[in-house]
Amino acid sequence: MSKTPLYWLAGVLTIIGSLFFGYKWMYMGYPLVPGTSADIWQVEVKLSFNAANEPIKVGLYVPGNNRKFTLLDENFISRGFGLSTVRENGNRRAIWSVRTANGSQALYYRTTAEQFDSGSGGDTVRVMPEVMDHEFQGAEFEVAKNILQSAQQQSADLDTLVAQLVKRANDPADDDIALLLKGDTSVENRIRITARLLALAYVPARMMHGLYMVERRGDAPLEPWLEVFDEKNWRPFDPVTGQTGVADNYLVFWRGDDSLVSIDGAENVQTRISLQKLELEAVEAAAARRHYLSPVLEGMSLSSLPLATQNVYKILLLIPIGAFLLVIMRNVIGIKTFGTFMPVLIALSFRETQLLWGITLFCIVVTLGLSIRFALDRLKLLLVPRLTAVLTIVVLLMMIISIITNHFGIESGLSIALFPMVIITMTIERMSIVWDERGANDAIKQGLGSLLCAALAYLLMSNSHVSHLFTVFPELLLILLAATLLLGRYTGYRLLELSRFKALLDPVK
Amino acid sequence: MRSLLATARKLREAGVLAINARNCEYTLAYNPRRLYPLVDDKLRTKEIMLQAGLRVPELYGVVEIEHQISELTAFLSKYDDFVIKPAQGTGGDGIIVVTGRVGGMYRKASGNLMSEQEMAHHVSSTLSGLYSLGGHNDKAIVESRVIFDPVFEKISFQGVPDIRIIIFLGVPVMAMVRLPTRASDGKANLHQGAIGAGIDIATGKTMTAVWHNNVIDRHPDTHYPITDIQVPHWDELLEISTRCHELIGLGYFGVDLVLDKDEGPMILELNARPGLNIQIANRRGLLHRLEHIKKHAAKLRDPASRIAFAKEEIASML
């Protein structure tokens, strides 16, 4: 029989599984290991103002997704106002408007932003930006030209030129600069002058505004920054030191000379920005992120289910892993077990009892059940009544063990109630049959084999890395399925067969 | 690890067939599922064999429903010795051989006694599927006990020795005789402690014998030599076995036969998943032989040519 279709199927399954896995891991940032907490902040902008029965239009620059931050969700809270968001020159702007309003009003913008570990470098730009008009005239023009020329003489490239210009723009003793600043010594104005000087040198430059994401801040100040275009992309420069780059926790709000808020028809405008770092599991963050990154995957994720259902699937998804281990134990190693999947179900119950207790309790229940089953044997009962009798006895045994252990203050004994009693009953029945038919040796061997498989399956299934991987990336089951299909045509020797057939290799005595 | 791989390689070279390969390459590939009921249900096998004129142990009766058990004692009283077995049993489980009576008790082949009540319970368990494949409801067959040919008398301890021949695409591949021992409690199953003695397909003479994976040449209980015994009616046994291939249609199976003192070869049952211990009994792997047959199967059209092929080419293969 040809194995080619099998290899194709396994290959396709592996590729599909890996693609989904890779996409979610690399692009959507789902973590491979559990417990990674993401850097997530909640940012809130509060606008308050007094309205005077006039039409009001409020514009607020809001952040957008960029290489360093992704917005996980956004809320605009504005009672009675109409809202629209627009894109202008690469900036996002929320515009609230209302026909009439009276008294003090408050508008809120709230967003949750997650920080990425991204490499340095700015956003790549396809179209070369225009150089703005430097607007220097008369004496100012001459001064500006002088400043630029001396800066150009003392610099070798764009970085050093910007550094020189920034250094001069921040020099309080520099009279030339003072002339250009016209008394406004704010950082914004210094950046504006630097940008205009760069425009004089035909280098596009602009100001950007953003926030430093710190642990918690009630009234966070907007920090202006300088951005210079260097033939390929925009690069940030510190407006005070002239060094390139910007801190990783800098969330850009908007670019340009405008102020954060523009408002028509209201007075006494107050702006307050607060931010707070959230403790959020990385998985939840990635789940929230998929909303923005991939609407296609949104409906397909486990986390779109209700929490209770999710918890059920967290366990269900582990069962194929245990079953796969059984495939290996049975078909590759050659260990005999009672019932095909019995060890997996026992392993599931070990999750509640913990391993040592689980094995101890399992042995106690099976041993007691088995001895009672042998006693029942003399009564010559029919099969189904006999099974029912054993089941009843198993339940009673479990109850008695729970009561006794509880009496001695051992808490784990209570969890025995979670043992799958039907499985235990069937195990006892099969074991007693094998005992009768093949002898105690075979029965105990198979019993221990089952227990060994159950213990290994438990260790595998309770491993936090394994369970994390399969609940976050259920598509890995496709790869597991491919491996199972391949093992389904494994025609090699089982490990334990090697010793069984070894006698064939010995020379005849 | 390295020595394990080396062992695996050596076994592969020796042509040892293992369980995964048997399932994948032979039983799954050559035995269509729909044919399994023909061999899994011994009653149907018996019917087919009788129709074809092959000898089987005489059927005394069938217990099909629980209610019939109340009439069992009266029914069995007609027979001094008989065999009760589940119609769909596996691996010899649930078979009781009654050789006679002591008072109101049945005497089993092992010499142990069994009360009528115990017998009724055993039949009831059989009906509920205790011994059947997958635990399905089953029937209990009552049939004549085979009085086996005296040739094996001195080399078997209680129980009935039987002959297993593996047939692949109608060609006999390997054969052995299974001899019960004291340790096997009269059962003819190798892993229960019966002796397996390989039979040379060409001549029908026993060769090596294996007991608990040890090579032996004398029966551990009777101390008579086991090797080099001519199995009577050998050609007939081969012929019957190859005919089963036509009758049932399975590609890879085992035939269990017994030699009755008076009536000669009889078919006990067929097995669509024959065990691998026959390789240990013969001290030969099955794989090379199976591959050789696969290569030449197309030209072996009639049973006679297949037997000739087996005797000439397969028997001598290592």
Band of residue A9 on the pLDDT scale cut at 50, 70, 90:
very high
Averaged pLDDT for residues A265-273: 85
Please give the residue of chain A at the shortest CA–CA distance from B286.
Answer: A504
Sign of the torsion formed by the C-alpha atoms of B150, B154, B155 and B156: positive
B283 → closest Cβ in A331, A433, A508: A508
What residues of chain A, 238 to 257, have a C-beta less than 8 Å from chain B? none
> CB–CB of A329/A453 below 8 Å?
yes
- pLDDT score of A123: 54
pLDDT greater than 90 at residue A483: yes
Percent of chain B topping pLDDT 90: 36
Question: What pLDDT, in 10s, does the model give residues A339-395?
Answer: 788 898 888 888 877 888 888 888 988 899 899 888 887 787 777 888 899 889 888
* A182 DSSP 8-state letter: T
Sheet containing A266-281: order of strands? A69-77, A102-115, A37-52, A266-281, A216-217
Nearest chain A Cα distance for residue B212, angstroms? 10
Quote the pLDDT of residue B82. Answer: 92
Longest dimension (CA), chain B: 64
Between the alpha carbon of residue A201 and those of residues A126, A158, A244, B157, B201, the distances in Å are: 21, 10, 19, 110, 101
Q: What are phi and psi of A255, to 5 degrees?
A: -125, 150
Give the pLDDT band of residue A451 (cuts 50, 70, 90). Answer: very high
Tokens of B144: 């004549």
Separation CA B166–CA B274 (nearest Å)? 7
pTM for the model stands at 0.65
Contact of A156 with chain B, judged by CB distance below 8 Å, is answered with: no
Say which range, A31-45, A248-262, A463-477, has the weakest mean pLDDT.
A31-45
pLDDT score of A32 more than 80 = no
Chain A contact set for B66 (CB, 8 A): 382
pLDDT of residue A119: 46
pLDDT, tens digit, 9 for 90 and up, residues A397-438 = 888 888 887 787 766 655 666 677 888 888 888 888 888 777
Chain A residues in contact with B174 (beta carbon < 8 A): none
Closest residue in chain B to residue A486, using alpha carbons only: B24
pLDDT band at A509; cut points 50, 70, 90: very low
Instruction: State how far the Cα of A416 lies from the Cα of B217, in Å rounded to an integer.
Output: 54
Name the residue in chain A with its Cα closest to that of B3: A498
Mutation test of the interface with chain B: which of A330, A504, A508, choosing the one with the most B Cβ atoms within 10 A? A504
Is the confidence at residue A43, as pLDDT, over 70?
A: yes
B contact residues 190-219, partner A, Cβ 8 Å cutoff:
191-192, 208, 210, 213-215
Interface A-B: count of C-beta contacts within 8 A: 85
Q: Does A445 touch chain B (CB under 8 A)?
A: no
DSSP state of A24: I
Q: Does B11 touch chain A (CB under 8 A)?
A: yes
Give the pLDDT band of residue A299 (cuts 50, 70, 90): low
pLDDT higher than threshold 60 for residue B35: yes
Res. A66: pLDDT tops 80: no
Task: Please say if the pLDDT value at position A303 is more than 70.
Answer: no
CB contact under 8 A, A438 and B192: yes
**In this predicted structure, what is the pLDDT of residue B135?**
66
Cβ contacts (< 8 Å) between B280 and chain A: which residues?
500-501, 503-504
Q: What is the pLDDT of residues B39-69, one digit of tens each?
A: 888 999 999 999 999 999 999 999 988 888 8
Output the pLDDT for position A114. 81
Chain B residue numbers with beta carbons less than 8 Å from the beta carbon of A331 are: 20
Quote the DSSP letter at residue A244: B
> For residues A349 and A462, is the Cβ–Cβ distance under 8 A?
no
- Two structure tokens written together for A479: 């790869």
Residue A453: pLDDT band with limits 50, 70, 90: very high
pLDDT at residue A83 tops 50: yes
Residue B7 has its nearest CB partner, among A1, A334, A498, at A498
- Find the mean pLDDT for residues A163-173: 85
- CA nearest A505 in B: which residue? B11
Minimal Cβ distance to A382: which of B24, B128, B191: B128
Task: Please provide the average confidence, as pLDDT, over all residues in chain B.
Answer: 88
What's the pLDDT at B46? 92
Q: What's the rounded Cα separation, in Å, for the pair A321 and A326?
A: 9
Give the closest residue to B251 by CA, choosing from B290, B204, B200, B278.
B290
Average pLDDT of span B200-204? 92
> Token digits for B110?
């092992």
pLDDT class of A125 with cuts at 50, 70, 90:
low
Whether the Cβ atoms of residue B199 and residue B175 lie closer than 8 Å to each other: yes
A373 neighbourhood in chain B, CB within 8 Å: none
Hey, what are A307's tokens? 């929490």
DSSP assignment of A306-354? -HHHHHHHHHHTTHHHHHHHHHIIIIII----SSSSHHHHHHHHHHHH-
Average pLDDT value for chain A: 82
